[in-house]
């Protein structure tokens, strides 16, 4: 690895305090009982398993956790179960984003009371607000609690990107410290990292290695449900300047990324993956999602085996 790239990796991803939400954070699914009710015992067991496997951050009640179909009270119960299960062994971040600034702020305040150590705030979706409205929304939510905030930039779902200049402005807020980046524009992300102190997290497993080599400090991963250890090894490899090893891990995990993120809906396939591993009791999801089919599960099993994760 060239000296400059080694220096960049050490200075960004390895510097103390540079990764406010851990290095390998998993966007947790929410386990349900057969009847669709919360499986809090399964939630605790899954959180403990992920941390044991190498995750040092957990995102609860994000879209992978089926936040659109869980109530505020259920989100609170799940968050408290995860906080109790992992204690100080991982940073627990609460997904609180909605398309309503007031509701989002209320969820943020409830998450702080429940013990969250940070907030994940997605752009308001469907209404496609202009950039000034995005800015005001994020500032209002970040000002509602004392918790550090990770912005979630995923225009394919929200309908609007957070523009570079908006991110630069938002970085001036003391509590806006990170971005979960699923924009799919590595150059734009590189520019924001170059111009601000925002900690970048890959929010797209297909681009984990790419964003890490551009200065991201970690990832918020769905595939991490079954590959937290491998992603932790990837981060350590880059920290030590071993790009060859990081690339080997990236290539090995391609079938798993394809199987979970490319063959169906992410939350649906992630649940199928952890069910295959015996960590949760079923792959129940809430409508309008439907569980992975037997054919999808069979292919997923083959994909995980190809990635060495069976």
Cα separation values, 152 from 45, 95, 121, 182, Å: 27, 10, 6, 8
Neighbours of 266 (CB within 10 A): 18
Whether residue 126 lies in the annotated active site: no
Say which residue the tokens 């970040």 belong to.
142
Whether residue 135 lies in the annotated active site: no
Radius of gyration of the chain (CA): 18
**Distance between CA atoms of residues 170 and 135, nearest Å:** 7
Name the nearest CA neighbour of 96 among 111, 81, 83: 111
Q: Which of 75, 180, 183, 271 is catalytic?
A: 180
3 state SS of 15: coil
Phi-psi region of 166 (alpha: psi -120 to 50; beta: other; left: phi over 0): alpha
> What's the sign of the alpha-carbon dihedral 29, 33, 34, 35?
negative
220 known ligand binder: yes
Name the nearest CA neighbour of 225 among 253, 197, 198, 251: 253
59 known ligand binder: no
Say which residue the tokens 């906080």 belong to.
83
Q: Which of 152, 200, 201, 231 is catalytic?
A: 152
- Binding-site residues: 64, 220
Residues annotated as catalytic are 152, 180
- Binding-site residues for pyruvate: 64, 220
């Amino acid at each position: 690895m060239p000296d400059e790239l080694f220096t960049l990796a050490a200075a960004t991803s390895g510097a103390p305090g540079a990764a406010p939400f851990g290095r390998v954070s998993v966007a947790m699914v929410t386990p349900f009982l057969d009847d669709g009710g919360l499986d809090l015992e399964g939630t605790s067991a899954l959180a403990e398993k992920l941390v044991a496997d190498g995750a040092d951050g957990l995102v609860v009640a994000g879209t992978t956790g089926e936040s659109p179909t869980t109530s505020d009270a259920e989100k609170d119960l799940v968050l408290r179960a995860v906080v109790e299960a992992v204690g100080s062994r991982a940073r627990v971040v609460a997904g609180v984003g909605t398309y309503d600034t007031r509701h989002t702020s209320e969820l943020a305040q409830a998450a702080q009371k429940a013990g969250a150590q940070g907030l994940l705030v997605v752009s308001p979706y469907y209404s496609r607000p202009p950039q000034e409205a995005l800015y005001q929304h994020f500032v209002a939510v970040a000002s509602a609690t004392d918790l550090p905030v990770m912005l979630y930039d995923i225009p394919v779902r929200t309908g609007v990107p957070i523009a570079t200049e908006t991110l630069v402005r938002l970085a001036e807020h003391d509590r806006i410290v990170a971005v979960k980046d699923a924009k799919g524009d590595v150059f734009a992300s590189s520019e924001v990292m170059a111009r601000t102190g925002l900690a970048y997290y890959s929010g797209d497993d297909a681009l984990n290695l790419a964003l890490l080599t551009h200065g991201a400090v970690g990832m918020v991963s769905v595939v991490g449900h079954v590959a937290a250890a491998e992603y932790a090894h990837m981060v350590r490899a880059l920290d030590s300047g071993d790009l060859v090893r990081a690339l080997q891990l990236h290539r090995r995990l391609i079938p798993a990324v394809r199987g979970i993120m490319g063959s169906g809906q992410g939350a649906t396939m992630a649940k199928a993956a952890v069910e295959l591993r015996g960590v949760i009791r079923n792959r129940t999801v809430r409508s309008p999602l439907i569980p992975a089919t037997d054919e999808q599960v069979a292919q997923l099993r083959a994909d995980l085996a190809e990635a060495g994760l069976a």
